[in-house]
Amino acid sequence: MNSLKIVFAGTPEFAAIILDAILKTNHQVVAVFTQPDRPSGRGLKVLPSLVKQQAILHKIPVFQPSSLKLDGKYPDEALQAKHQFEQLDFDLMIVAAYGLLLPKWLLDRAEEKNYLGCINVHASLLPRWRGAAPIHRAIWSGDEMTGTTIMKMAEGLDTGPMIAMETMPIQSLDTTGTLHDRLAVQGARILIEVLNKVANGINVETMPQPANGVIYAEKIKKDEAKIHWDVDAIWIDRQIRALNPSLGASTTLDETVIKVWLSENISQLWKDSPSHQPGTVLNIDDLGICVSGKSGVVRLLEVQKAGAKRMMASQFAKSVQLKIGDVFV
């Protein structure tokens, strides 16, 4: 099989899974663009991205501009990156969760190399959930289906024509973490199929995105973490699962902040019960802690006190002597 020389741009774990899949083929990654090293973890130690770590391990040149916009906040870095990019010998550019917008000069240069230019791996069924947090927003909005879109990049945010798409069901206990991992594997597989076609001279067609159904997946903000118990249980459950593992949904018990990492909506089991004050503990057993919403009931399955490890909700209830009738706020 023929091989391609690829420039790869990506930063977090999703991108690292895609890069790993490419590195296991006969295609050659000649350069990697990733975001600058940043403080990470509880100790805020400055660490390289997972993509950079992989690139170093495979002795691939790494470029880390703060911006690629020549008229942006870091014009000198962008200009240097432009010179570096123009010197690269490559056939195609692949982008996955890079985190920086690609300017016209880069898209044009990539298209000079190949009619597909820059190919992006995006974790949604475009045009639904363009933007930074497609997996979080799909779970939080109660989507039953998501998937991966392989697209040719354009100047707009995830607006380019589509090359390939594959669906994936969202399960009732899926978190952003579990869905992320499956989508990354799916995206890698579909991308490799596209790369192999390109390498063997097979024409890969593109299709414009539908004009209808465009929704933007805005980046998750810190103020979205707080659980408001005076909404329906189904919404609370989605929030908890959408914010796992990034950020984490939070509530308060006796003025102590509690992170809630996993839950399930069990409203159907409580459909004949009387209404209670939102946030009220209705039951505690080995399965977890049942808490009322404005309507319906959510069972907390995994929680975490500040400074402690994550634990099963039933174990947490025993440790703090939680009682039926206690209220989360």
Q: What is the CATH number of the domain that holds 292?
A: 3.10.25.10
H or E element that contains 5: strand 5-10
Same domain, 291 and 172: no
User: DSSP characters for 281-308?
Assistant: EEEEETTEEEEE-SSSEEEEEEEEETTS
Same domain, 212 and 246: no
Instruction: Answer whether residue 40 is part of any domain.
Output: yes
Predicted pLDDT at 1: 61
H or E element that contains 94: strand 92-96
Instruction: Answer whether residue 147 is part of any domain.
Output: yes
Same domain, 272 and 205: no
Instruction: Answer whether residue 205 is part of any domain.
Output: yes
Instruction: Answer whether residue 325 is part of any domain.
Output: no
pLDDT values of the chain reduced to their tens digit, one per residue, 329 residues: 689 999 999 999 999 999 999 999 999 999 999 999 988 766 778 889 999 999 999 999 999 999 999 999 999 999 999 999 999 999 999 999 999 989 999 999 999 999 999 999 999 999 999 999 999 999 999 999 999 999 999 998 999 999 999 999 999 999 999 999 999 999 999 999 999 999 999 999 999 999 999 999 999 999 999 999 999 999 999 999 999 998 999 999 999 999 999 999 999 999 888 889 999 999 999 999 999 999 999 999 999 998 899 999 999 999 999 999 999 99
Same domain, 161 and 37: yes
Structural domain count of the chain: 2
Same domain, 231 and 204: no
Among 166, 193, 217, the domain-final residue is 217
Among 166, 182, 217, the domain-final residue is 217
Instruction: Answer whether residue 62 is part of any domain.
Output: yes
Q: Residue 256's domain spans which residues?
A: 222-319
Q: Indicate which CATH number applies to the domain containing 9.
A: 3.40.50.170
CA gap 288, 272 in Å, rounded: 20
Instruction: Answer whether residue 324 is part of any domain.
Output: no
pTM equals: 0.93
Instruction: Answer whether residue 327 is part of any domain.
Output: no
Letter for the amino acid at 188?
A: A
CA gap 82, 197 in Å, rounded: 29
Same domain, 63 and 147: yes
Report yes or no: 6 and 114 within 8 Å, Cβ to Cβ.
Answer: no
Same domain, 191 and 105: yes
Same domain, 190 and 234: no
Predicted pLDDT at 156: 87
Same domain, 290 and 207: no
Same domain, 285 and 174: no
Among 192, 217, 242, the domain-final residue is 217
Instruction: Answer whether residue 23 is part of any domain.
Output: yes
